[in-house]
Structure formats: structure tokens, C-alpha cells
Amino acid sequence: MTDTRTPQPPPESVAEEVEAAHSFSGAKEERGTGRTAEPTAASAGWLRWGWRQLTSMRTALVLLFLLAVGSIPGSVLPQQGTDPGAVQQYFASHPGLAPWLNHLGLFNVFAAPWFAAIYLLLFASLVGCVVPRTFRLVGAARTPPPRAPRNLARLPQTSSYSSTLPPEAAVDGAAAVLAGQRFRLRRSGADDRQRDGASHWVSAEKGYLREVGNLLFHLSLLGVLLSIAAGGLFGYKADKLLVEGQSFSDTTAALDEFHPGRLVSGSDLPPFSMTLNKFTANYIQSGQSRGQPSNFDADVSYTASPGAAPGTYHIRINDPLSVDSLKVYLIGHGYAPEFKVTGANGQVTYDQATPFIPANTGTFQSDGVVKAPGTATGTDLGFMGVFVPTAISVGGTLDSIFPAADNPAVSLIGYTGNLGMNSGVPQSVYQLDTTGMTKVSGSPHLLAPGQTWALPGGKGSVTFVGVKQWVSLAITYDPGQMPALVCGILALAGLLLSFFVRRRRVFVRAVPAASGSGSVVTVGGLTRSDAGGGFEEEFSELAAEIAAAEPAGHSEPEPSTKPEPSKQSEPGA
Amino acid sequence: MSVNLGFAQASNDFLIAALLIYSVAVLAFAGDYAFGRPRRTAAAKAAAVPAAARLATVGAGAASGSAGAGSAVGSAESAAPAIPAGSGTGKVPAPRVGAMKAIWEAGPWVRVAAAFSALGMVAHLVAVVTRGLAVDRAPWGNMYEFITALTCVAAIFFGYIVVRYRAWTLGVFVMGAVVLALGLAETLIYTPAGPLVPALQSYWLSIHVTAMTLATGIFFVAAVLGIMYLVAERYRARVAAGKTQSGNGLIARIPSSAQLDRLTYRTVVFGFPVWTFGVIAGAIWADQAWGRYWGWDPVETWAFITWVIYAAYLHARATAGWRGARAHYIQLFGFASLITNMLVVQVFITGMHSYAGVS
């Protein structure tokens, strides 16, 4: 991310610029281009060659591309992690292709070994680049700025003025200005005398925070990756469908689905319990967005642990409930019509609210089944139902025109026979296996709340008692969340520093004037990294300030402006 | 949650007005190309004095050794008086002439174009604000509102570039793209003002979507600059190879490829942290609303892809052999993935971000 645009000066100034830019941090110095010499020796040479290849910018670029391209199938194909149902559907509709895609891990891209290989290589490349750079930054922070080049007029930014002061005093004044702007200084010393003759100079450098930011950004990305890994190892996610009036406690048996992290077992779950008192959904009643939901609210009571004081909360979308370290989210809702089924002998065999799954999330027309085992073999009753919250009959077909339960109705198809619930094979509560059953009547039977359908032939009856609602809740625990957030913010801070701080050097050299008294002072400056622009302005202001800080007769240098690089170092260095 | 119909109507009217005013501005920008005064003479002179060019341009892109005079992108005519093409003896660059004066001196076509652009921006901004007042929330809850807002960002950001870098020669391209995007939004996906679904009822809408809107608007400008770079660079290479004569009327008007390269980079450097912030804010919101901060939802995946490609551009620019046109292709791929996310993934691929309201 370091900008290494190199100015292309005429040849005679190259020496000065190279000298002035000595050990200026830049990616060019930090990362090779990948075109390193071929290995000559045995395995150690190959290893070194391989490591250089891996940590080269060219390889990093290729890995970044692979990461981008590798992510695409994850958004185009259904993914096991987000929508397992869609993956099954894909298998059903593409029986030839799907197994091949599955072999390549394309239904679980972000957990696939090849995807992990890309990002792990990328991070290895990053570490291989960042660690040496960190050492180099520490080294740079302990090394004073380079000597001032001989001819400052050949630097990209220059300015000169004549001073009434002798060279040493003129440079003292300039050094005071630079020190006041928190530049890190190096003054010409006695050992430079031979090289510089009668001239004096000061070198000043600033902007180490740029490299600090760059390193912070890359290390924080590593931190984000580790946080995600921690969440995957120690966190968990569970789902629970809860009908109004029902309760559950947080145990693996009570949860509908439980996805623990690698290092989590069921006994690690906090012992909280919860009851859904009431669920409210509001919909826009009129206008163009009629039927669009405007508010969801799940009124719950909970206890954090057995014996703890119970609390109540309104879980809403964007407003989860926090219990201990875990959070409970409202992620879905639907209707649960209540049915009462009576067998042929008059005994009630089923009496409960039955969650139906929305087939249309706009109108909440929902599908579900009722399974009422009979008292004797072959007398089981089963019903396939369609629930509509606001019923309307269009040409004899039942439809829903509004998602709220304004005029609820169910349409049932009844079956008798053997449900197969004792066969030991687990069944879905949302599907009816009709292989061992016979249809009670040809056409579906429509019921409004309170109505009863007496099955023909005295096989029993079913009553549509009323309607309740259900919510689906997600219960999550992710210990990596907060570290990931912190690392994300640090990465952003590092990014801003590395983009908007510039590393720059300013040199001031004073030579005795030809007239004999006073001196000619030249100020030169250069930067290697000016993405945001503005060094020109900064330099011209600084040069003007240095020239203006030239009080006639002020020749006593302040002791504090004497060169003491170790104490003048930058805060970020 | 009711809609204020007066404000809603005002917003629609102001947006149409902005579209018409922008169209006039684009015509005036184009007129400047067709009938305005030629301006490359000054640049040619400056290029003949390498010392002058070197004094003014620190670290000009390596792609072109003959950067025009001054760091002011735009016509060299205005840059030349701003930064005296002096000798290398160390004159501190004089402050630039004021933006208004520079625009005034650029000729009647630029004057008209700048005035209409500014007027259009005001109307555009009023349209966005009244839309927000009509629905009593941040006015970027569906695709129509999002495009309206991001083109407003692009227009205002372009205005900043004109003031900062004197880059009105880019006007016909940037404002042309804005008019195109706005026109398509108005005709194809207009959505009347309405309240939001519960999932979007969060203050994170103002934070996450605002950042994404800003970043998209900035990357939009960067993409236009990148395309112009490729045109200018191709032309420069052909001139350098002796395949064509320099002084092509249209291309001579736009900034040099080195200037465009730098301006593109600065624009991306501005947009990238905003995009990063937007992704982080989105992750925080996703955690609030859906119970996980990152779930590889299609839109999240594409936001990640976009981020990775722009990161690749920033790295490519610091890698030997990748600077110049190759880096710009990467940048344009980044914008292509952003547009794919906005117009294809959000509309056609079902995911948790399916809020576009386009049906």
C-alpha cells in the first residue's frame, strides 16, 4: 500500500535524490518484485527462493485476485452454511452437475480447503512482508535522518534566501523552526566539517506514522482473521421455533438446531429459559406499500439461570435480547393454527397449535400438516393444510390478500390409515407421508376459526380452534465478535494513517555568502508518498516560515535545538 | 410512519429539474470541446522545459515523463499562470488563482457549464433532502433512492475536483455519466416514497448505507477517470511510438495520462477507507439485525470482492510492471464488481440484502 512513485529527474540530480531518499520506506524496498535470482544451492536455496516468491508483491497480487475470483461461486451457487435447503434443491434439479460441484467444495466455498489455502497463503505472504518491515521501521526510528545532499537545488522542492547571519546561526534558526514542527533533526557535526567545508546543514524527517499505519492495517487484518477463527472454535449458534405461550430452556434437546463451534459441547450452554408471551406484527394498511410489514415485536419473559429473577423484553428486528454473553434474535415468524382432532371413538387425539411454514412471505399463505395418531392401528388421522390469514376466494381457489390474520381460514385434505410414526424412522413435522394412508374426501375442506369438519364415515373430526403466531429465534454466542470489531477499527485507523500521513524530509544548508558576510540558505524537500497531495503547499509554507524566522542579529542558538536525534524522535517512531 | 406527500412531490420535481439542468451542463461541457479555445499550447511549452515541470510536480507518475505543468489537473492554460514556469533556482510556488477566477477565464462554455452544474447540484441535493423529509428517514432505503443519492455524491465530489484541480475538462464525462445513471433510475426503477420494512428501521441505515453511497459515488468518479486515463495513455503511447501525430483535438483537451493516473489514485485513496468503514458498519448492523456480523450473504460476498480488487489496485500501483494501464484495469474491475453487486446481485440473487424494491 505504500506509494513508490519515483520522480524521473534529469540525470545530474540523481545522486542528490538518491542520497536524500536513502532508506525512505517504500514497498519497493520492502517487497521484491518476485524476479529474484534463480536458486543456486541446494534445498536451503530453494526454500529461500520460495519464501521470496511467496512474500513478493506479485504473488500477493495474484493471491488477492484468486481470493476475489474464488468468492464468486459462493454468491452464485447456494451455500450449505446459509441455505442448506437450496443446496438440496440444486442437487435435485442438477443431478449430473451437483456432485461434481460438491467435490470441488463449491457448495461450501468459504469453508473449502482450497479457499482456506488462498487466504492462508495470502496471510503468510503478508506476515513475511510485514515482520521485516516492522524491524526496518524500528531501525529507521533509531537512525537519524541522512546527511543533507550537497546540492539542495536539485531536489523536487527547493527554495532559497539570503541571510545576514553566518551559516551556523542561520541553520540554528531553521532547526528551531523544524523542531517546533516536530521534525526529527540531524545537524552537521564536527566530523562533517571535512566534507562540507564552511557550510552548515540540518536534515529533518517526519511522518513515520505512515509506515506505522501501514503495518497496523496489515496486522489488524491478521487480527480479524484470528478473531473469526476464535468465534468458529468457541462460539455457537442455535435456532428455536417458539409458539405464543410456549417456553423452552437452552439445552441441546430443546433447541431445533444447534451448530456448536469445534471446541464447544452441549454442556457449555448457559442455563437460561424463555417464554414467548405474545408476538405482534403490524402491516401497512393502505396505499402503495399495503401489506408491507411496519413492525415486529416478540414479547418474551426469560430467566438467565434457574432461580434468577425473571425479566421481560421486547425482541425486535435490530434489537436482540442479551442474556449473559449470548444474544437472542428474532429472525422469522409465521402462523400456528390450533387444531383439535377427535378420533372415531370420540377420544381427543390431538389438541395443539401447529406451526405452518409461510409459502408466500408477502401474503403469508402457509403450509403445514397435522398428525394425529389413532388409538388403534390404522386409525391415524393426517391432514395437509393450507392456511391463509386474510382469506379470499378467487374463482373457487383460496388465496390470501393480506399478511395479517384478519379473516383466517384453513383448507384441509384429510387422510386415514397409518402415519408410520412408530416405525422408528424420524419424520419431519412439516411433511406427511401418505404412502400408508387413504384420502378421506376428494376436495379440500375449508374451515374458519371455530368450525369443525366431521369426517365422512364417522372416522372422526377436526376443529380449527383458532390462530396463534410463532417466531423463530436465533441464539448466538461469538467470543470473536468484539476482537474482530476492535481489529476492524484498528485496520481502518491504520489505513487512514498510511494514506494521509506523508513521510517527508526537509534539508536546510547554509553556505557563506560570496560577499563575505551573511550566508545563502537553501531549503530542499522531498517526499516519497504523497497520495493525498499537498506536500508542495506544506513545503512552501515551511520554507517561508524558515525564511521569516530570521531575526536580524539573533545569532544565539537555543540549546534545546541542538541536535539530539534520540530525544527528537517522532511520537510514532 | 406516514409519508408527507408534499415533500415527496417536491422531491420528484426537483430531481427532474436537476436532470434537465445537468443535461444543459453536459451540453455546455461538450460545447467547450467543440467550440472552446484550444489550450494545449501552454502545456507543450511547459513540457519543453523539464526543470519547470520537475519543480512543480513532485513524484509524477512514472508512466509519463512529460507531465504537464503544475499539479493542477485541468487545462494547462490555467495552471501555467498559477505556478510560474520558473527556473530550478528555488522560487516557492505561488498560490493558485482562485477557482472562480480560473473558471471565468476558461471561456463562456465552461462558465455556463459550471453554473448549470452548480445549479443542478443544488436541485439534486434539495431532491434528496426533501425525499428524506417526506419519508422521515435517511433517503436511501431502496435502489431508486440509493442511485439518486450516490449520483448526488458523485456530482458534488466532481465539483470538489473542479475547484481543487481545475478539472472541468472531465465534466462532459463525469456529468454525462451522472445524467445517464439518474435518467435510468428515473425511468426504470422509480419507486414512490414509502416507509421501510422493519429490517431497515435502524440508525445503522444512515451510517452503513451513507458510507456505501459515498464510497460508490467516489469510485464512480474514479472509474470515469480510469477510462479517460486509458484513452489518454493509449494516445500518448501511440504518439511516442510515432504512430500518430500529437495534437488530436479531443484528446489534447483532457489532462495528460500522468495527471489522470495521479488523480485516479487520489480518488481511490479517498474512497477506499470510506468503503472499508461502510463494510465494518454493515457488519455491526448485520450483527444487530441477523445475529452474525459476517455470513457470506451474496451482497456481503460482493462487497468483499470489491474491497479485495481495490486493495489489489492499490498494491499494483506500488509494484513494478503493474503500474499504469494494468493497475487501471484492476481499478475498473473493482468498479465493475461494485456495479454487479448493486444492479445484479441485489436485484436478482435472493439474499438477506434483497431490499432493492425493484420488481
A162-210 tens-digit pLDDT:
888 888 888 888 899 999 888 999 888 777 777 777 788 999 998 889 8
Tens of pLDDT, residue by residue over A396-417, are 778 888 899 989 999 999 998 8
CB contact under 8 A, B295 and A81: yes
The CB density around residue A553, as the number of other CB atoms within 10 Å, is 8
In a shared domain, residues A347 and A394: yes
What are the φ and ψ backbone dihedral angles of B45, each rounded to 5 degrees?
A: -60, -45
Helix (H) or strand (E) holding A62: helix A57-76
Predicted local distance difference test score (pLDDT) of residue A312: 93
Shortest Cα–Cα distance, A156 to chain B (Å) = 6
What is the least distance, in Å, from the CA of A246 to any CA of chain B?
22
* Residue A110 sits in the same domain as residue A162: no
Phi-psi region of B293 (alpha: psi -120 to 50; beta: other; left: phi over 0): alpha
Whether residue A381 is found in the same domain as residue A351: yes
Quick one: average pLDDT of A243-250? 89
Structurally, how many domains does chain A consist of?
3
Chain A neighbors of B309, CB-CB under 8 A: 64-65, 68
| Short-list A412, A351, A355, A344, CA closest to A379 | A344
Q: Residue A395: inside a domain, yes or no? A: yes
| Chain A interface, best mutation among B319, B323, B342, by max A CB count within 10 A | B319
Pairwise pLDDT comparison (A450 vs A513), residue with the higher score: A450
Q: Are B184 and B163 in contact (CB under 8 A)?
A: no
Q: Is residue A471 part of a domain?
A: no
A454, A375: one domain: yes
Report the alpha-carbon distance of residue B319 to residue B330 in Å, rounded. Answer: 13
Q: Which H or E run includes A300?
A: strand A293-303
Q: A315 - beta bridge partners?
A: A298
A284 falls within a domain: no
Is residue A11 assigned to a domain? no
In whole angstroms, give the CA distance from residue A178 to residue B225.
38
Which pLDDT value is given to residue B267? 92
Instruction: Kindly tell me if the per-residue pLDDT of A227 is higher than 70.
Output: yes
Asked whether residue A50 falls in the same domain as residue A117, the answer is yes
Q: State how far residue A220 is from chain B, nearest Cα, in angstroms.
A: 13
Among A204, A207, A146, which residue's Cα sits nearest to residue A177? A204
Smallest CA–CA distance, residue B287 to chain A, in Å, is 9
Of B89, B194, B317, the CB nearest to A3: B317
Residue A277 pLDDT exceeds 70: yes
In chain B, the residue whose alpha carbon lies closest to the alpha carbon of A1 is B315
Q: In this structure, what C-alpha cell is assigned to residue A126?
A: 503478508
Higher pLDDT, A66 or A195: A66
Contacts of B273 in chain A (CB under 8 A): 492, 495-496, 499
Q: Which of B89, B273, B296 sits opposite A495 (nearest CB)?
A: B273
d(CA B191, CA A472) in angstroms, rounded, equals 31
pLDDT exceeds 50 at position A272? yes
Confidence of residue A491 (pLDDT cuts 50, 70, 90): very high
Based on the fold, state whether residues A186 and A128 are members of the same structural domain: no
Same domain for A185 and A135: no
Report yes or no on A157 lying in a domain.
yes
Residue A38 belongs to a domain: yes
Residues 6-45, chain B: which have Cβ within 8 Å of A?
A: none
Task: State the pLDDT confidence band at A38, using cuts at 50, 70 and 90.
Answer: low
| Alpha helices (H) in A104-240, listed in sequence order | 113-142, 167-180, 193-196, 209-234
User: Which is more confidently placed, A184 or A40?
Assistant: A184
ipTM score of the complex? Answer: 0.80
Residue A110 φ then ψ, to 5°: -80, 0
Asked if B295 is an interface residue toward chain A (Cβ–Cβ < 8 A), one would say: yes
The residue from A85, A117, A142 where one domain ends is A142
A332 to chain B: nearest residue by CA? B290
A436 and A510 fall within a common domain:
no
CB A269 within 8 A of CB A261: no
Do A94 and A166 reside in the same domain of the chain?
A: no
Q: Is the pLDDT of residue A494 over 60?
A: yes
Contacts B266 to A, Cβ<8 Å? 531-533
Partners of A289 on chain B (C-beta within 8 Å) are 194-195
A193 lies in the same domain as A111: no
Amino acid at B106: A
B188 touches chain A (CB under 8 A): no
pLDDT above 70 (res A441)? yes
* Residue A425 falls inside a structural domain: yes
Nearest CB to A75 within list B71, B92, B345: B345
Asked whether residue A133 falls in the same domain as residue A181, the answer is no
Name the B residues in 299-318 with CB < 8 Å from any A CB: 301-302, 304-305, 308-309, 311-312, 314-318
Question: How much of chain A exceeds pLDDT 90, in percent?
Answer: 28
Q: Closest to A68 (Cβ–Cβ): which among B293, B309, B349?
A: B309
pLDDT at B269: 92
Q: Report whether pLDDT(A454) > 80.
A: yes
CB atoms within 10 A of CB A571: 8
pLDDT at A155 > cutoff 90:
no
Q: Which B-chain residues 249-268 have CB contacts (< 8 A) with chain A?
A: 265-266
Would you call B266 and A74 a contact, using CB atoms and an 8 Å cutoff? no
Between B54, B92, B309, which is nearest A156 by CB?
A: B54
pLDDT band at residue A219 using 50, 70 and 90 as cut-offs: very high
CATH of the domain at A156: 3.30.160.110
Q: Give the angle B311-B317-B323 at the CA atoms, nearest 5°.
A: 135
Which stretch of DSSP H or E encloses residue A357? strand A357-358
Residue contact A331–B349, C-beta within 8 A: no
Q: Which domain does A348 fall in, by range?
A: 341-460
Where is pLDDT greater, at A434 or B41?
Answer: A434
- What stretch of H or E contains A411? strand A409-417
Alpha-carbon distance of A275 to B277, in angstroms, equals 38
Report the half-sphere exposure of A362 (CA within 13 A, side-chain side): 5
* pLDDT tier at A380, thresholds 50, 70, 90: confident
CA angle at A500 for the pair A498 and A503, rounded to the nearest 5°:
70
Nearest CA distance, B48 vs chain A (angstrom) = 13
Interatomic CA distance for residues A548 and A480, integer angstroms? 55
Evaluate whether residue A301 is within a structural domain.
no
- Identify all chain A residues contacting B195, using CB atoms and an 8 Å cutoff: 284, 289, 292, 294
Q: What is the mean pLDDT of residues A95-123?
A: 91
CA distance A453 to chain B (A): 38
Sign of CA dihedral A84, A89, A92, A96: negative
Which pLDDT belongs to residue A111?
Answer: 87
- Phi, psi dihedrals of residue A477, rounded to the nearest 5°: -135, 120
- Identify the closest residue of chain A to B1 by CA–CA distance: A294
Residue B242 in contact with partner chain A when CB distance is under 8 A: no
Q: Between residues 269 and 288 of chain B, which touch chain A (CB distance below 8 Å)? A: 269, 272-273, 276-277, 280, 283-285, 287-288
A11-32 pLDDT tens trace: 444 556 666 666 564 444 445 4
B298 vs A: CB within 8 A: yes
- Tens digit of pLDDT per residue, chain B (359 long)? 467 888 888 888 999 999 999 999 999 988 887 777 655 444 444 444 333 333 333 333 333 333 333 333 333 333 333 333 333 333 333 345 577 777 787 788 888 999 999 999 999 999 999 998 888 888 887 888 888 998 998 899 888 888 877 778 888 888 898 999 898 888 888 888 777 777 777 888 888 988 998 899 899 999 999 998 998 888 888 888 887 776 666 677 778 888 889 889 989 999 999 999 999 999 999 888 888 888 888 889 999 999 999 999 999 987 777 888 999 999 999 999 999 988 888 777 777 776 655 44
Do A436 and A537 share a domain, yes or no? no
Q: Measure CB to CB from residue B277 to each of A79, A158, A492 and give the nearest one.
A: A492
Q: CA of B267: which chain A residue's CA is closest?
A: A532
Q: What are phi and psi of A73, to 5 degrees?
A: -55, -30
DSSP E strands in A304-325: the ranges are 311-315, 321-323
Say which of A61, A153, A293 has its CB closest to residue B312: A61
